A and B are shown apart, each in its own frame.
Chain A
Amino acid sequence: AQRVTQPEKLLSVFKGAPVELKCNYSYSGSPELFWYVQYSRQRLQLLLRHISRESIKGFTADLNKGETSFHLKKPFAQEEDSAMYYCALRSGPGANSKLTFGKGITLSVRP
């Protein structure tokens, strides 16, 4: 069975501080990992996916297969980063395309 663990429920930082949102997964194959974000009163939207290896809004995430982790990082947090963040896993190509989500973490960036 596949599982995504986000160990923290809340992270509160000051503007300009570094941010790391943790995500660990359990899956026997080669998964695809994603970070989704939900801003206040908005719908869930894709932030980034590991296969793209890109930086979105200053966020990056590296898939570490040895540690089965996909932590989301940003060197300097902005107030507009305040939101709910979900890590999600999908079985690799050819398999079921459903997403398995973690419980999410609230990021609060204070001025």
Chain B
Amino acid sequence: GAGVSQTPSNKVTEKGKYVELRCDPISGHTALYWYRQSLGQGPEFLIYFQGTGAADDSGLPNDRFFAVRPEGSVSTLKIQRTERGDSAVYLCASSQTQMQTQYFGPGTRLLVL
């Protein structure tokens, strides 16, 4: 079946602009995670949704970052006033329930010029 999908695959923006990154989880998966992977690093946790609610947003670096999952399926990660340091690959993962295997999407590569 279809895996986790993310759009766009690449995004180039200018410093100070607003961006939205989209994640389509595997159908029926209630848990959804966002991670960020900078060059030479492993993925770092940003936020976790259980259903529609953000169960843990402790990984969001500051208030420029926000994520939603209004209907409990698709999620959007929103970054305001982008900075060059936001450049990274943003990964989304979903799992059937909270403690089951997380399946990752292909990521969105964000470049802030």
Contacts A96-B48, A98-B33, A104-B42 known; A45 to B104 CB distance under 8 Å?
yes
Q: Are A44 and B40 in contact (CB under 8 A)?
A: no
Contact A97 B48 (CB under 8 A): yes
Nearest-neighbour CB distance to chain A for B110, whole angstroms, equals 17
> CB-CB < 8 A to B4: which residues of A?
43
Interface size on A, residues (CB 8 A): 20
Decide: A86 near B43, CB < 8 A? Known: A43-B107, A46-B101, A96-B48: yes
Chain B residues with CB under 8 Å of A4's CB are: 42
Shortest Cβ distance from B100 into A: residue? A97
In the complex, the answer to whether B42 meets A103 with C-beta atoms within 8 Å is yes
Using A86-B42, A86-B43, A104-B42 as known contacts, say yes or no to A99 and B102 having CB atoms under 8 A apart: yes
Q: Which of B31, B43, B48, B55 contacts A44 (CB 8 A)?
A: B43
**A43-B107, A44-B91 known; A97+B40 contact, CB < 8 A:** no
Using an 8 Å CB-CB cutoff, how does the interface string of A34-56 with B read, 1 for contact, 0 for none? Answer: 00000000011110010000000
Cα distance A34–B45 in the bound complex, in angstroms: 15
* Given A46-B101, A93-B99; A100-B45 close (CB under 8 Å): yes
B14 at the interface (CB under 8 A from A): no
In the complex, chain B residues whose CB is within 8 Å of the CB of A86: 42-43
- Using CB atoms and an 8 Å cutoff, list the residues of chain B in contact with chain A: 3-4, 31, 33, 35, 40-45, 48, 55-56, 59, 91, 95, 98-99, 101-107
